[in-house]
Amino acid sequence: MTWIPEVASNLASKVDGVLLLITLMSLVFFILITVVLVYFAIKYRRKSEDEETPYITGSEPLEIIWTVIPSILLIVLFVYGYVVFKDMRTPPKDAVEISVQGKQWLWTFDYYNGKKTINELYVQYNRPVRLVMEAQDVLHSFFVPAFRVKQDLVPGRYTQLWFTPTKIGTFDIFCAEYCGTGHSAMLGKVIVLSPEAYEIWEKGVKVDEGVGVASLPPAELGAKIYKEKGCNACHSLDGSKIVGPSFKGIFGHPVELQDGSTVDVDENYIRQSILEPQAQVVKGFAPVMPSFKGILSDEDVTALVAYIKTLK
Amino acid sequence: MANHTIAHNVYVPFLEKKGILSWILTTDHKRIGIMYLISISFFFLVAGVFALLMRYELLTPASDFVQPHTYNVLFTLHGSIMVFFFIVPGLAASFGNFLIPLMIGAPDVAFPKLNLGSYWIYLLGAAIVLIALAKPADTGWTFYTPYSATTDTDVVLITLGVFVLGFSSILTGLNFIVTIHKMRAPGMTWHRLPLFIWASYATAILQLLATPVVGITLLLLITERTLGVGFFDPAKGGDPVLFQNFFWFYSHPAVYIMIIPAMGVISEIIPVFARKPIFGYKAIAYSSLGIAFISFLVWAHHMFTSGISDIAATIFSFLTFLVAIPTAIKVFNWTATLYKGSIHLHSAMLYALAFIFLFTIGGLTGLFLGALAADIHLHDTYFVVAHMHYVMIGGTVMGFFGALHFWYPKWFGRMFNETVAKIAWLFIFIGFNVTFFPQFFLGVQGMPRRYATYPPQFESLMSLSTYGSWILGFGIFIMTLNLIAGLINGEKAPQNPYGSLSLEWQVPSPPPLENFEEIPHVTDWSYGYGKKK
Amino acid sequence: MGDASTEHSHGHHMDPAVEYSSSKLGMWLFLGTEILLFGGLFAAYAIFRAKYPEMFFEQHVELNKKMGAVNTCILIFSSLTMAMGVSAIQRGKQKVTAILILITILCGLGFGVVKYFEYSAKFHHHIYPDTSIFFSLYFLMTGLHMLHVFIGLTILSVLFVLTLKGKFTAKYSTPVEVGGLYWHLVDLIWIYLFPLLYLIG
């Protein structure tokens, strides 16, 4: 177990500096008060009922000392916190801009070159990134602990944050602002690629590079997509109702639609539900699913169908 | 009932009369205090059970005990019941009612009937919330829009309950302010007032000023859901963040409505068991008012990541650090009171010392959240959960338990088992720290709050926290049993078991119907312990 | 409640002068909270008017200025009669007080009638609280105010009956004074609402 998460952005070490200073100051005061408290409680324990105590009602010098010293320290903390905050709020001009949408309960990322990913944010090592973010339904909050950045996404306005990744690897994205049933499943990954790998990713024809492990058998690939593309936030595997219908035992059975008609869940229905989710919504569910057209390839959809078939 | 006349020089304890009507129609502040005490304790235990269920779900990363939706309902109910039905009315309504007239030498509060009315309104609010449990809300106790405006759970009823409750809070605060202004016994000058009275006064001002704003905010949320008003709905030109501004304008002062009475309790307990005058009386008294004032200017420190402007964030961060100063002054003065004292570690004193220790941690960790850069990382993580519980349990609840053990003999005329009380204290103290201290580390590592399921890297600390909640729950269970047992078969309490100088200890236990046979003439403050030079 | 209160009857232990000043202080504090309650709506008004000045200007013309002005006059007049009523009871004139309170009540009812016609006209034109932010504010502010008018009327009716029964004298007029204060608040809030909603421009 580590005390603090990985340091993976230029801002992380600066924020850690603030955390460290406050920790040290707090420890000094905490130890001081605790030691005095325990010492007094032991030293001046009542030994007999008729003990005499002095009539001390206060001390102005002491009041002044313990008002002024903490005040000065607090101003130091404020200034330090502010200076780093200012850095965190001022993106460099050459930052790469990526737009982020938060929606119950997944993240979508739109890149300058027309690429689009879900729940996976691809960025290049050592190149500043500015995220321009908007929520489509309720509040969300984009939080990457390893980068020490967090910003709420608000419907109807843009908010932004920036960072420069300083470590190659994969890091957690959490939704930090409560957004409903699937809040704790609204997870994503930031994938920091080396400049070479990023170039390949940028030019790659396939949009779902992160998932595309084509050598897997379809059902296994489908299982992977189910987790990584956020299907699991809304569709359970155990029959429980989250937001969308559970996948358990759904294949090959008829479902009732909103207009009262029924349809058999076959390959085509699943395919249509992924690419045009609003077309035939199952009764009792809200039409809130986003389209995965352009995000999932044909192979991906086929893999998902194969996976859903296995869920008896 | 009406032809029962009171012979004035015969001692009739206020608990003498029996029968349900003698309770629900009483205008006696001591009885109303008891009714509040029972009601808030009930809600405390109910919301505590919700907390235990939540922690049980969080024992493992997966949602294997309840569904995520159920978990969300649990933390919503835990939060809103604890905040609005236990901790906000809490000490102020129960011990405030019992103690204010006794401490200032008055036969009752200024408006006894209004006082009873306030209690009924509290019950009405509580009843509405109980009905709302049929389809419980899943918004969190903060009711943030737009989620609270769109979820299909029942938000209207629970907010309506809280709205109604607000009136109880306003009327109680109003009653106490007038009582403290107008009903003090001759010689009870402002600078002779017990510090609990100063604390109650500051609290009452906050209740009066802040509660109407949350009232209108919740009303707006209700109209948003029922009439289609769009103040918080961006699609209609509204602003979802406006709700947060309104909400925290109340709810940050509300934090001090919750903690200031507990600070008052500590200021009463420590001098008695240290047999020393309170150190820095004026500093403590005025810092209550200082906190009350500044608390209105810091609300947006809950919103540093919400999209407010950087300038606003900077100003609010600065003001937040300001509020730390009067708080620190209080801690230093309490500690200094112990110096050269004759300290008796009675269970009430143990709670007071635990308060200082835990509240110091709560206060210091608040600095992390006040500092802009640090808050960006820590906001909405378990760090906030831990900080808040160190202030609310470590502070307010310790103060509440301390008050229960301290004034128990006076209020009920009986003693509880002191050894059991100390054992319970130990369980509570250890259990509390095991539950919440790990959450600071969870927060620093990035574990977000309000997660029904969580990534596996957090499992060991999360399980530890759950084990702690069992110890804590066990301690509170023992304490409750002990206090109930004392009511049934405790020894009769003497008038003044701890040798306190405060007025409430100069009348029999339990106090007579109208408190004082004759209104006392006060000649000194109530902290004149020790030998004057 | 009667039984319980006579049983403990704290009021009897209270010095009448203290009781009088307590009641007044209590009422002033309560009026303060009422203003804060409306304060939330005034704040919302300020924020949205700053954000959408054109919308406020364009939509406020839908409101009936004449009816608003009539209502303003009615309320100001009723405040006057209430103040005269308070001064009459302080001089011990019970009958005059009762009449003045009755006139105040009638004014309050008149205000309600005018408001009823205004609201019906709005609904007739399909203007509802969810029509726009401006009309949300209009309905909420005037609606909350109307609620206060009703509460005020209830208080005044009780005062009227008690005055007729001779409960109040020159020495004991606290409830009339305190009730009067409340009615002045109702009037005062309307005096702010009228220009803010009807006279934009």
How crowded is the C-beta side of C130, counted as CA atoms within 13 Å? 10
Nearest CA in chain B to C21: B182
CA distance A167 to A169: 6
Query: Which H or E element spans position C167?
Result: none
Chain A positions touching B235 (Cβ under 8 A) are 155-156
Write the residue in A45, A85, A151 that is nearest to B372 by C-beta: A85
Chain B contacts of A176, Cβ < 8 Å?
Answer: 305, 379-381, 448-449
Annotated domain spans of chain A: 10-89, 96-203, 218-310
Residues A295, A207 contacting (CB under 8 angstroms): yes
Q: Which B residues in the span 49-108 are in contact with C, Cβ-Cβ below 8 Å? A: 107-108
pLDDT at res. B9: 61
CB contact under 8 A, A30 and B360: yes
Specify the higher pLDDT residue, B402 or C6.
B402
Phi, psi angles (nearest 5°) of residue B253:
-55, -35
Residues C136-145 have pLDDT tens digits of 999 999 999 9
Task: Flag if B229 and C129 touch (Cβ within 8 Å).
Answer: yes
- Any C CB within 8 A of B230 CB: yes
Beta strand residue intervals within chain A, DSSP E: 96-103, 106-110, 116-118, 120-124, 129-135, 140-144, 149-153, 159-163, 169-175, 188-193, 254-256, 262-264
Instruction: Judge: B310–A85 Cβ closer than 8 Å, yes or no.
Output: yes
Nearest CB neighbour to A154, from listed B240, B314, B318: B240
Chain C residues whose CB is inside 8 A of the B211 CB are: 33
| A103 lies within 8 A of chain B by CB | no
Q: Which CATH number fits domain A218-310: 1.10.3720.10, 3.10.180.10, 1.10.760.10, 1.20.1260.10?
A: 1.10.760.10
Cβ of B372 and A2 within 8 Å?
no
Per-residue pLDDT tens digits for A103-158: 988 999 999 888 888 899 999 999 999 999 999 999 999 999 999 999 999 998 99
Q: How many helices and strands in chain B, by DSSP H and E?
A: 17, 0
Determine which of A177, A189, A240 to mutate to test the interface with B (most B C-beta atoms within 10 Å): A177
Interface contact flag, B116 C1, Cβ < 8 Å: yes
> Tens of pLDDT along C178-198?
999 999 999 999 999 999 999
Touching, C vs B (3+ Cβ pairs under 8 A): yes
The shortest CB-CB distance from B342 to any of A22, A46, A159 is to A46
Contact B340 A44 (CB under 8 A): yes
CB distance from A73 to chain B under 8 Å?
no
Neighbours of C194 (CB within 10 A): 18
Higher-confidence residue: B321 or A236?
Answer: B321
User: How much is the pLDDT for A293?
Assistant: 78
| Segment B457-506, tens digit of pLDDT | 999 999 999 999 999 999 999 999 999 999 999 999 999 999 999 999 99
Judged by CB atoms closer than 8 Å, whether chains meet at B376 and A141 is answered as: no
Residue-wise DSSP of chain C: -HHHHHHH-GGGGS-HHHHHHHHHHHHHHHHHHHHHHHHHHHHHHHHHHHH-HHHHHHHHTTS-HHHHHHHHHHHHHHHHHHHHHHHHHHTT-HHHHHHHHHHHHHHHHHHHHHHHHHHHHHHHTT--TTS-HHHHHHHHHHHHHHHHHHHHHHHHHHHHHHHHTT---SS--HHHHHHHHHHHHHHHHHHHHHHHHH---
Q: Which amino acid is at A162?
A: W
Do the Cβ atoms of C133 and B238 come within 8 Å? Answer: yes
Q: Which of the four pLDDT bands, split at 50, 70 and 90, describes residue A215?
A: low
Nearest to C177 by CA among C32, C34, C20, C29: C20
All residues of chain B having their beta carbon less than 8 Å from the beta carbon of residue C21 are 182
Distance from CA of B4 to the nearest CA of C (A): 7
Question: Which residue ranges of chain B lie beneath pLDDT 50?
Answer: 1-7
Is C27 a domain residue?
no
Q: Note whether A179 contacts B: Cβ–Cβ < 8 A.
A: yes
- Cβ separation of B356 and A89 shorter than 8 Å? no
Inter-chain residue contact A150 with B529, CB threshold 8 Å: no
Read off the pTM. Answer: 0.89
Specify the DSSP element, H or E, that contains B332: helix B310-337
Residue of A nearest to B314 (CA): A82
Q: How many domains does chain C have?
A: 1
pLDDT value at residue A207: 45
With beta carbons less than 8 A apart as the criterion, state whether B477 and B92 touch: no
C102: in domain: yes
Residue C50 in domain:
yes
Helix H or strand E encompassing B468: helix B459-489
Domain A96-203 has CATH 3.30.1490.190: no
Would A10-89 and A96-203 be classified into the same CATH topology? no
Q: Give residues with Cβ within 8 angstroms of B459, minimum separation 6.
A: B60, B61
Q: Which residues span the domain enclosing C102? A: 34-198
- Residue C136, domain CATH: 1.20.120.80
Question: What ipTM does the predicted assembly reach?
Answer: 0.91
DSSP structural state of residue B487: H
Interchain contact C/A (3 or more Cβ pairs less than 8 Å):
no
Number of cross-chain residue pairs from A and B with Cβ atoms under 8 Å apart: 278
Q: How far apart are CA A209 and CA A109, in angstroms?
A: 14
A129-135 and A96-103 strand pairing: parallel
Choose which CATH entry (1.10.287.90, 3.30.300.30, 2.40.70.10, 1.10.1200.10) describes domain A10-89. 1.10.287.90
What is the reported pLDDT for A303?
86
Residue C151, chain B, CB below 8 Å: the answer is no
The whole-angstrom distance between B367's CA and the closest CA on chain C is: 30
Residue range C67-100, pLDDT digits in tens: 999 999 999 999 999 999 999 999 999 999 999 9
DSSP B365: H
Q: Which of A46, A56, A139 sits opposite B147 (nearest CB)?
A: A139
With an 8 Å Cβ cutoff, is A242 touching chain B? yes
B160–chain A Cβ distance below 8 A for any pair: no
- pLDDT confidence of residue B8: 52
B11/B34 Cα distance (integer angstroms): 20
